[in-house]
Structure 1
């Protein structure tokens, strides 16, 4: 039973790291578009803020789990 728990925990941690990398990329892409835009829209600013909030939320979750990307 312990083996399954460890395996599920490792799968969860890997999925969390994958999501963090994906959201970081998404956030940087939206940020780049907003910086290049001559007249940024309100909707674009909302998308930027949402992407940033999602990214930092997952970082907090990883920190709570004492997860380190170098360990994986």
Structure 2
């Protein structure tokens, strides 16, 4: 009875992880696009883009370690 919730908790946190991955992916793409289009190359903003990319890659590796499947909504 105590271990009955284990599966539902795993699914819940897996879904949260996938949601965070999608959010960071969009944020990273937006920041990278803005950085690529800007004329003023600000080092602080460059580091912010790199940090967002690293956060995204970390969460992506965590999803891979958990063997989660990421489905493309467009297909």
Report the TM-score when normalising by structure 1. 0.92
User: Could you tell me how far 1:3 is from its partner in structure 2?
Assistant: 2.9
Report the TM-score when normalising by structure 2. 0.88
Structure with bigger helix share is 1
**Alpha-carbon deviations, 1:53-72, whole Å to 9, x = none?**
000000000000000023xx
Provide runs of 4+ in structure 1 moved above 2 Å: none
Q: Distance in 1 between matches of 2:44 and 2:29?
A: 16
Q: Please, which runs of 5 or more residues in structure 1 have no aligned partner?
A: none
**Aligned residue runs from structure 1 range 1-72, under 5 A:** 1-70=2-71
